[in-house]
């Protein structure tokens, strides 16, 4: 009862635990949603990279088949540069998604730990 009185008064370890639990519950959905969005963007990046590769290959083929000399090399270089940037962004997103996964895991683990502490304390 004393712990509940302190919790009601907004002080003490029980109040901090309750606040931490609420904060974790608040953050978990945001982290999961962000993780889903990052995953979706990464899939789009892979698809974009495949399209860039296909277009670059097609431009090279067209350039070779033309009887009139068309200089498509600058366009192919631009496409390859765009592909390189897409790969770079994809790597950044992959690292961010891994950090989000670890954060989500930590939040879940901390929630279980805090819930067990609260239940053990009779709160």
pTM over 0.85: no
- Tracing tokens 């997103």 back to the chain, one arrives at 93
Q: Report the pLDDT value the prediction gives residue 39, as an integer from 0 to 100.
A: 86
- The overall average pLDDT reported for the chain is 80
- Residues 58, 84, single domain; the answer is no
Between CA 14 and CA 120 the distance in angstroms is 12
Question: Which residues span the domain enclosing 97?
Answer: 70-122
Residue spans of alpha helices (H) in the chain: 2-9, 12-65, 73-121
- % the chain with pLDDT above 70: 86
Residue 37 sits in the same domain as residue 81 = no
Looking at the structure, tell me whether residues 65 and 21 fall in a common domain: yes
Give the mean pLDDT of 68-87: 83
Q: Sign of dihedral through CA atoms 44, 48, 50, 51? A: positive
Domain count along the chain: 2
Tell me what the mean pLDDT of segment 28-46 comes to.
86
Residue 2: pLDDT above 60?
no
């Amino acid at each position: 009862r004393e712990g509940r009185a302190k919790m009601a008064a907004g002080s003490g370890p029980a109040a901090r635990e309750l606040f931490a639990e609420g904060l974790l519950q608040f953050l978990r959905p945001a982290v999961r949603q962000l993780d889903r969005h990052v995953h979706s963007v990464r899939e789009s990046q892979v698809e974009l990279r495949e399209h860039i590769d296909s277009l670059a290959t097609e431009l090279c083929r067209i350039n070779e088949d033309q009887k009139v000399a068309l200089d498509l090399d600058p366009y192919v270089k631009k496409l390859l540069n765009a592909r390189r940037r897409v790969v770079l962004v994809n790597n950044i997103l992959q690292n961010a998604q891994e950090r989000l996964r670890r954060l989500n895991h930590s939040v879940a683990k901390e929630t279980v730990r805090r819930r067990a502490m609260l239940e053990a304390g009779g709160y």
